[in-house]
Amino acid sequence: MSPGEREVPRTPDSSDPVFRPPTAADGIRMWEIARDSRVLDLNSSYAYVLWGAEFARSSVVVEVEGRVVGFVTGFIRADEPDTIFVWQVGVDADQRGKGLAARLLHSLMDRTGEQQGTVRLRTTISPDNDASKRTFGAVARDRGMTLTSEDYLGADLLGEGHEQEDLYTIS
């Protein structure tokens, strides 16, 4: 751009992802995404409705063409108000591979950092979940932050043949 030229703002396209806090009305769609993933531990549909109604400050959904296609559910830890514990990240199968999971996490960190002073994300990831490890690693690198992991919940605590969950922290 030469001196004196102004950048013309880009008009948003209806296919551009829109990141926003969830509402109770988004709960069933969030539940459908989790159910259809066949990978996420499925909570009750009520839990997802409640997440949208009561945990919107620490959660985010993404819409494409007016349809919710992904979500992050999280909560702010009472003992660490600068930390969001990420419960689940879910993206529709037809939207995977587009970087939406990482963009959801960035959106959540940007919004909560500005509004609430949160500076750290925590989550659990099972040892065989390479996709989640890559996503959280990429977010940490993009933000110039550190990703650490430690043993957290052993399989003996989780039952139903669930493997262990390690604690990952972006800080």
Read off the pLDDT of residues 27-47 as tens digits, 9 standing for 90 and up. 999 999 999 998 898 999 999
Mean pLDDT of 102-125: 90
Confidence band of 77 (pLDDT split at 50, 70, 90) = confident
Which two tokens mark 28?
A: 């069933």
DSSP letters, 85-154, are EEEEEEE-GGGTTSSHHHHHHHHHHHHHHHHH---EEEEEE-TT-HHHHHHHHHHHHHTT--EEEEEEE-
> Residue 119 in contact with residue 82, Cβ under 8 Å?
yes
Mean pLDDT of 86-103: 95
Q: Between residues 12 and 135, which one has the greater pLDDT?
A: 135
Question: Is residue 57 predicted with pLDDT exceeding 60?
Answer: yes
Confidence band of 25 (pLDDT split at 50, 70, 90) = very high
Sheet of strand 18-20: strand arrangement: 18-20, 60-64, 67-77, 80-91, 120-125, 165-170, 147-153
Which two tokens mark 144?
A: 């110039």
Question: Is residue 10 predicted with pLDDT exceeding 80?
Answer: no
d(CA 154, CA 76): 23
Mean pLDDT of 132-139: 96
Q: What is the identity of the amino acid at 117? A: G
Give the per-residue pLDDT at 129: 92
Give the per-residue pLDDT at 12: 55
d(CA 108, CA 47): 20
